[in-house]
Amino acid sequence: MKNFKLPKLVIFDMDGTMLDTEPISLKAMMHAGTELGVEIKIDVAESLMGKSIVRCREILRANYGENFDLDKAFEIHKDYVMSYYKENNVPIKTGIYELLDKLETMGIKKAVATSTGKQAALWKLNNAKIAHRFDVIIGGDEVENGKPSPDIFLKAAADCGTAPADCIIIEDTEAGILGATAADIRVIAVPDIAPLTEEIRAKAFVVCKDLHVVAEMFGE
């Protein structure tokens, strides 16, 4: 791609970017609501994608009130998704192996910056058999402020010894793209099930339909 400066580090979001987990997470959240006698709307469930657990709690509380049992809802959600993954394994996004192979051939470092807690993230990435392919894996519980704050991206860059100007972030959600923008790091948007507004898409360096297209950006 013209004017594409190769990075020294690529920082990946996890859910919805590398792992095709957001559809099952949506089903799990709406299932949790049903179990607790609350109808969680699809747009509310989608608005949780990519955000920190603190922000998710705020959104759910704002929509369903103080009496909605958040702890129980997240427990039901976790049990639902873990049961699914243990039976079916964690699904991956098309193009991820191709992109990782290309970055490794080019000697470009790779990091994960996910809102998911560190231990859960490691479990998912190990189940998908790609955890060993990253130099650094940062979970959402390792930073004070979750996405859309820039903290997790700046930590990933610092832990890899790389200046933000030499990084690129790959993200699927509004929260992640806003966090990348706040970190002053170029971001490649690869939208998943939660739609991105034109305003958010405009903040990305480029918008790609999948990771195959991202891999093509790094040359033949």
80 to 36, 76, 89: CA distances (angstroms): 14, 6, 13
- The answer to whether 13 is a known catalytic residue is yes
Q: What is the pLDDT of residue 196?
A: 94
Q: What is the pLDDT of residue 50?
A: 78
pLDDT tens column, 34-59: 999 999 999 999 889 878 888 899 99
- Asked whether 99 and 211 are in contact (CB, 8 A), the reply is yes
β-strand pairing of 167-171 with 186-189: parallel
CA distance linking residue 106 with residue 120, whole number of Å? 29
pLDDT tens column, 158-187: 999 999 999 999 999 999 999 999 999 999
List, in sequence order, every beta strand (DSSP E) within 55-210. 109-113, 136-138, 167-171, 186-189, 206-207
pLDDT tens column, 87-146: 999 999 999 999 999 999 999 999 999 999 999 999 999 999 999 999 999 999 999 999
Calculate mean pLDDT across residues 19-32.
94
CA distance linking residue 1 with residue 137, whole number of Å? 28
Catalytic residue among 13, 151, 166, 172: 13
The pLDDT-based confidence of 1 (bands split at 50, 70, 90) is low
The pLDDT-based confidence of 3 (bands split at 50, 70, 90) is confident
Q: What is the pLDDT of residue 49?
A: 84
Q: Single out the residue of 26, 42, 39 nearest to residue 77, CA to CA.
A: 26
Phi/psi at 53 (nearest 5 deg)?
A: -60, -35
Catalytic residue among 15, 20, 151, 192: 15
pTM of the model: 0.88
Calculate mean pLDDT across residues 21-28.
93
- The answer to whether 166 is a known catalytic residue is no
